[in-house]
Structure 1
Amino acid sequence: MTEHLPGAAGQSMSAEIAAQPEVLAASALRHSEIAEVARVVSARRPRFALLAARGSSDHAATYAKYLIEVLLQLPAGLVSPSATTLYGARPDLSDVLVISVSQSGGSPDLVEVTEVARGQGALTVAVTNTPDSPLNAVAELAVDIGAGPEVAVAATKTYTATLLSLYLLIDAVRGGKAEAVRDIGALAASALDDTEEQVAESVRRLRFVERVLTTGRGYSSASASEAALKLAETSYLAARAYSGADLLHGPVAAVDEETAVLAVTSKGNGGAAMVDVVKAVRERGADVLAVGSAAGEMDASSRLMLPDSSEEVAPILEILPLQRLALGLALARGGDPDNPRGLRKVTKTR
């Protein structure tokens, strides 16, 4: 993809997308550091896990929920921060693992949720890109995702570095040695470099679309949600994300030839479950862009093929060309994704 000149719209987002192979390769080398945190978690033997997050970090938390349920065989759920901050809920969290995910570590609601959870007996772990953040200060344990400063408002390298850090943590809790991400830097480079022309063509194809639906199953449902957010915040598109299963339970009725569908389909159980979903939306006339290592198996209008990987780490790769798609569409539609209207880098909520 063409590099943007200094001062050009989208230059920060473009640079941060391109930096991800290097960031991910470096993060994978921090396995032993994250394994120290994992050893404490393993020793405490939590009964179940809760995850607290907002925005892009909430999608990373959804990914972690699947990792915990599948790899650790523990029940896991997503926290509703408002239950604590607005309604004063104080549940007994003895022997519960609470992982709070925030790139900035500065959102007051997540800080309060984490502090309350620790006071209620939970083992609390902060996963952030800011080691000296308020969130780290109130959590018992902390994982630094190590993405470095991120300037663009839209999270790119911090998102994928968060996914990788969560994978390293949860894999280490089960006694894994991070074999599945040993070559993650090279895989990420391939995911970006090998899809460059196809992303540019997808930008031309989708430039004037006004309604986008993103969908995936299993681990890839996090990628579908994050893709919808990126399109909404950079291109101001009316983008909605649905699990492939939920899509067939009703929303598919709204799909027609005016709808663009981004289907995230990597090899594995989740991708196999998407075959019928993609077929259903194609039958309704939708323009379907399939993204992932299983894209070639889908009845799609166009494809962004990605390298094979373990299904549980595929979301780290799936989002990369979709970030570039969001960047390209924003620029093609006359916007500046580095300065989306009404948004700031750090959003503080309670």
Structure 2
Amino acid sequence: MTEAAGRHMAAEIDEQPDLFAGLLAERAAIQRVGERIAEHRPRFALLAARGSSDHAALYAKYLIEVLLNLPVGLVSPSTTTLYGAEPDLDGVLLLTISQSGGSPDLLAVTESGRKRGALTVAVTNTADSPINAAAELSVDVRAGQERAVAATKTYSTTLLALHLLVDAVRGGDGSTAAGLPELARATLDDSADAVEEAVRRYRFAERMVTTGRGYSLATALEASLKLAETSYLAARAYSGADLLHGPVAAVDADTAVLALCGGGRGGDSMREVLDAVAERGADICAIGSAAGNCTARHRIPLPPCPEELAPVLEILPIQRLALGLARTRGLDPDQPRGLNKVTKTR
């Protein structure tokens, strides 16, 4: 398969540092939404999303619980669309995260939530979407049109937008993320050779496990999805803690493991997990700023950054890995079989 395959995905991966800079330059709009949320003093947060956006929602769950000390739940849209549940949402913050802003079930959740007292906030890449119109407040992730079916730039800009939003709610000004565009460019440039080596190592892999803890669990889940939808690889994602509670029994010398090993508490907690996985003979690829401190056969080191921002950088070499594996397997990741850009569910 030639490099023409996946050209949209490749271009959109490379756009991300510039998109981060653009989003940071316009963060005053996100700041205003964060201030409105803070004025409401929510007692609880609910997150509604599907697909890659669901992984971004998990990232937001960690941000809100750790940085705002608010309890958070993930919405099951079918409780609204199939079962007609109508819980009291007075005093609840409802964040609907959708790249397209057009999924019917998420629209129904947003409309229903607003009627039942929730403060509704849409986080989308489509400013004129139905979900934006239904929500009281909205955040534009400013990724521009994404032509590849597999989400890359919309996923990472959503992560950054969510970080800026939560930071604004706690009274921050977004300065923690000020250096992210430069770190993202360094990540893409400096990891290129290690990613190419990973493509060579895993081009014939049949099974892969992705794993991480803390904020990086979202990255593990998104990595699994990217590998499955672009390379048709049987990839499963687990929390590092859950991996040791049973699934590790299925790990052996024929299993490739992508492990997120960043700095901070989440990355530190992965060392024991990877020692156990290595004992079973798995081929481990450690990705992150602390990759050199983890048991692994291959490493993709990343520049250090605050732990809560690491998922924005971690996903970049993984997107490149998914692109490279698809190409080496003779596939076009821009046109995965059976998939459309917008999936409509109820």
TM-score normalised over the length of structure 1: 0.98
**TM-fit CA distance, 1:232:** 0.1
Counterparts of 2:187 and 2:274, CA distance in 1: 22
Matching of residue 51 in structure 1 with residue 47 in structure 2: yes
The SS at the match of 1:242 is strand
User: 1:69, 1:75 within 8 Å by CA — same for their partners in 2?
Assistant: yes
1:73 to 63, 69, 73: 69
Matching of residue 185 in structure 1 with residue 193 in structure 2: no
Task: Report the residue type matching 1:38 in the other structure.
Answer: G
The SS at the match of 2:101 is coil
Matching of residue 156 in structure 1 with residue 152 in structure 2: yes
**TM-fit CA distance, 1:188:** 0.4
Q: Identify the residue that residue 217 of structure 1 maps to in structure 2.
A: 213
**TM-fit CA distance, 1:278:** 0.8
Task: Report the residue type matching 1:291 in the other structure.
Answer: I
Q: Identify the residue that residue 81 of structure 2 maps to in structure 1.
A: 85
Matching of residue 166 in structure 1 with residue 162 in structure 2: yes
Counterparts of 1:28 and 1:311, CA distance in 2: 19
Counterparts of 1:178 and 1:197, CA distance in 2: 32
Counterparts of 1:295 and 1:191, CA distance in 2: 14
Instruction: Report Cα offsets for 1:304-326 as digits up to 9, x if no partner.
Output: 00000000000000000000000
Q: Identify the residue that residue 202 of structure 1 maps to in structure 2.
A: 198
The SS at the match of 1:241 is strand
Q: Identify the residue that residue 133 of structure 1 maps to in structure 2.
A: 129
Q: Identify the residue that residue 30 of structure 2 maps to in structure 1.
A: 34
User: 1:93, 1:117 within 8 Å by CA — same for their partners in 2?
Assistant: yes
1:338 to 330, 334, 338: 334
Matching of residue 263 in structure 1 with residue 259 in structure 2: yes
The SS at the match of 1:101 is strand
**TM-fit CA distance, 1:94:** 0.1
Q: Identify the residue that residue 314 of structure 1 maps to in structure 2.
A: 310
Q: Identify the residue that residue 139 of structure 2 maps to in structure 1.
A: 143
The SS at the match of 1:260 is strand
Counterparts of 1:239 and 1:232, CA distance in 2: 6
Q: Identify the residue that residue 296 of structure 2 maps to in structure 1.
A: 300
The ranges of structure 1 where at least 4 consecutive aligned residues each deviate by more than 6 angstroms after the TM superposition are none
**TM-fit CA distance, 1:29:** 1.5
Task: Report the residue type matching 1:182 in the other structure.
Answer: A
Matching of residue 122 in structure 1 with residue 112 in structure 2: no
Count of residues in Structure 1 that have an aligned counterpart in Structure 2: 345
Task: Report the residue type matching 1:160 in the other structure.
Answer: S
Gaps of 5+ in 2: none
**TM-fit CA distance, 1:93:** 0.2
Q: Identify the residue that residue 245 of structure 1 maps to in structure 2.
A: 241
Task: Report the residue type matching 1:194 in the other structure.
Answer: D
Counterparts of 1:28 and 1:137, CA distance in 2: 24
**TM-fit CA distance, 1:210:** 0.4
Alignment root-mean-square deviation, CA: 0.7
**TM-fit CA distance, 1:30:** 1.9
Gaps of 5+ in 1: none
2:95 to 86, 92, 99: 99
Q: Percent identity?
A: 66
User: 1:28, 1:184 within 8 Å by CA — same for their partners in 2?
Assistant: no
The SS at the match of 1:117 is helix
Instruction: Report Cα offsets for 1:160-209 as digits up to 9, x if no partner.
Output: 00000000000000001112210111000011100000100100000000
Counterparts of 1:180 and 1:296, CA distance in 2: 25
User: 1:85, 1:112 within 8 Å by CA — same for their partners in 2?
Assistant: yes
Counterparts of 1:257 and 1:77, CA distance in 2: 37
Counterparts of 1:315 and 1:176, CA distance in 2: 19
Counterparts of 1:178 and 1:135, CA distance in 2: 25
Q: Identify the residue that residue 289 of structure 1 maps to in structure 2.
A: 285
User: 1:180, 1:309 within 8 Å by CA — same for their partners in 2?
Assistant: no
